[in-house]
C-alpha cells in the first residue's frame, strides 16, 4: 500500500502541476508578472525579458494537493499505519509542509516587489535573511517540542556523533544556507526543477527505505511537481518558478532531510546546491582579496559554463547527473552509517 500511495502522490502532483499551467500561465501574463533580466547577466538572456514568473505556484498547488490526497488515502486504507492523527511523524509532515510554505512566502514577497517595481532587487538581503530566520526558528522549536529533533548526526568515518548544543547554530546555517542555495540554482531554464526532481526521487526512496513513509510521500509529491513543472519550464522556458517556487523547493529539501533525522544528506543529495552557493562565495571572496580578479567567468557556476559555450540543456543534464551521483552516495552513506 505504501508504494501505491507514493505513486498516487507523484502522479497527482505531476498531473495537477502540468495541467494548472493552462490556467496559471495566462493569469500571470494577464497580470504582467514578467521577469526583469539582470543587466549584469549574460546578454543572450535578454530575450527572456517578460517571461512570466512566480510559476512555482503551479507545483506548490500540485504538491500540496497531492500530499493531502495521498495522506488521506493512507489514513482511510491503513489507519493503523499512521497511529492516529497526533503521532510524531504526522506532526513532522505537517511542520515540514508548513515550514516549506513559510520559506515560499518569503520568496513570494521578494517576487512581488520585483514585479511591482519592475527590477531585480526585490527584498534586501537583510530582510530576506531576517524572515528566513523567523521561519527557521519556528520550525526548529516546533520540531524540538515534538521530540523529533535529534542533535546526533551520522557522519562518515566518525559514525554517530552527538553535537549537543552545537547542533542548533549549525542547523540554522544549514537550513538558511541550503534554502538560498536552491534559490541560486534557479538561473537557467529547467535547471532547478530538473536537479530537484532527481534529488527528490532520492529523498523519496531513502525516506521509504528508512521507514519515514510520510517524508517519502512528501518527496514523491515534490518529484512529481518538479516533473510537471518541467513541461512548462524546460528550455525554452514558458514560465519561471521565481523565488516563490525556488524557496519552496529549498524548504522541502531541508525539511525532508531534518524530518528523516539525517540533515547530513543535504551535503550529498544536495551537492549541486552546495556547489552553486560555494561558487558564489569563492568568486566574491577572491574578487575582494585580489581587488577585481575572478575565478569564474561568472557566478553562480552554471553561468560560468554557459559563458564557456555550454547550452542550457547540457548544463541541466550534467548538473542532474552530478545530483544523481550525490543521491547514490547518500544511499551508500545511509547503508554504512544509517
User: From CA 174, how far away is CA 122, in angstroms rounded?
Assistant: 23
Cell numbers at residue 245, please? 517556487
Strand partners, 154: 160
Domain residue limits at 170: 2-337
For residues 10 and 219, the answer to whether their CB atoms sit within 8 Å is: no
Q: Count structural domains, the chain.
A: 1
User: In the chain, which ranges are continuous DSSP H helix?
Assistant: 2-30, 56-77, 79-82, 88-117, 125-145, 167-185, 191-209, 213-233, 242-259, 266-269, 271-289, 301-307, 312-337
The tens place of each residue's pLDDT in the chain, 338 residues long, gives 667 899 999 999 999 999 999 999 988 888 766 555 554 555 545 556 668 888 999 999 999 999 999 999 888 877 666 655 458 889 999 999 999 999 999 999 998 888 766 656 668 888 999 999 999 999 999 999 999 999 988 887 777 889 999 999 999 999 999 999 999 999 899 999 999 999 999 999 999 999 899 999 999 999 999 999 999 999 898 999 999 999 999 999 999 999 999 999 999 999 999 999 999 999 999 999 998 889 999 989 999 999 999 999 999 999 999 999 999 999 999 988 86
User: From CA 224, how far away is CA 66, in angstroms rounded?
Assistant: 9
SS3 category, 295: coil
Angle ∠(110,112,113) on CA atoms, nearest 5: 70
Q: Is the peptide bond before 34 cis (omega within 30 degrees of 0)?
A: no
Q: What is the pTM of this model?
A: 0.93
Strand partners, 162: 152
pLDDT of res. 38: 56
pLDDT of res. 45: 56
User: From CA 253, how far away is CA 292, in angstroms rounded?
Assistant: 35
How far, in Å, are 48, 116, 158, 208 from residue 36 at the CA level? 8, 11, 47, 41
Amino acid at each position: 500500500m505504501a508504494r501505491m500511495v507514493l505513486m498516487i502522490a507523484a502522479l497527482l502532483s505531476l498531473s495537477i502541476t502540468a495541467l494548472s499551467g493552462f490556467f496559471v500561465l495566462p493569469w500571470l501574463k494577464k497580470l504582467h508578472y514578467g521577469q526583469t533580466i539582470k543587466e549584469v547577466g549574460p546578454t543572450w538572456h535578454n530575450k527572456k525579458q517578460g517571461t512570466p514568473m512566480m510559476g512555482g505556484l503551479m507545483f506548490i498547488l500540485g504538491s500540496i494537493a497531492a500530499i493531502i490526497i495521498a495522506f488521506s488515502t493512507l489514513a482511510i486504507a491503513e489507519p493503523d499505519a499512521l497511529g492516529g492523527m497526533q503521532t510524531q511523524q504526522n506532526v513532522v509532515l505537517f511542520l515540514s509542509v508548513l515550514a516549506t510554505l513559510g520559506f515560499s512566502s518569503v520568496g513570494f514577497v521578494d517576487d512581488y516587489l520585483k514585479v511591482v517595481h519592475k527590477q531585480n532587487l526585490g527584498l534586501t538581503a537583510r530582510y530576506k535573511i531576517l524572515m528566513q530566520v523567523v521561519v527557521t526558528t519556528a520550525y526548529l522549536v516546533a520540531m524540538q517540542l515534538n521530540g523529533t529533533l535529534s542533535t546526533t548526526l551520522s557522519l562518515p568515518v566518525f559514525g554517530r556523533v552527538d553535537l549537543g548544543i552545537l547542533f542548533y547554530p549549525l542547523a540554522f546555517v544549514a537550513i538558511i544556507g541550503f534554502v538560498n542555495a536552491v534559490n541560486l540554482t534557479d538561473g537557467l531554464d529547467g535547471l532547478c526543477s530538473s536537479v530537484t526532481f532527481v534529488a527528490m526521487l532520492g529523498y523519496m526512496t531513502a525516506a521509504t527505505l528508512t521507514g519515514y513513509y510520510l517524508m517519502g510521500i512528501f518527496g514523491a509529491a515534490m518529484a512529481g511537481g518538479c516533473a510537471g513543472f518541467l513541461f512548462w519550464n524546460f528550455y525554452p522556458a514558458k514560465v519561471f518558478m521565481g523565488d516563490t517556487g525556488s524557496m519552496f523547493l529549498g524548504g522541502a529539501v531541508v525539511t525532508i532531510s531534518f524530518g528523516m533525522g539525517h540533515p547530513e544528506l543535504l551535503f550529498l543529495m544536495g551537492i549541486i546546491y552546495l556547489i552553486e552557493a560555494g561558487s558564489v562565495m569563492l568568486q566574491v571572496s577572491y574578487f575582494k582579496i585580489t581587488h577585481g580578479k575572478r575565478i569564474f567567468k561568472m557566478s553562480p557556476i552554471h553561468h560560468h559554463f554557459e559563458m564557456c559555450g555550454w547550452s542550457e540543456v547540457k548544463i541541466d543534464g550534467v548538473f542532474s547527473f552530478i545530483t544523481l551521483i550525490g543521491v547514490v552516495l547518500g544511499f551508500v552513506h545511509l547503508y554504512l552509517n544509517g
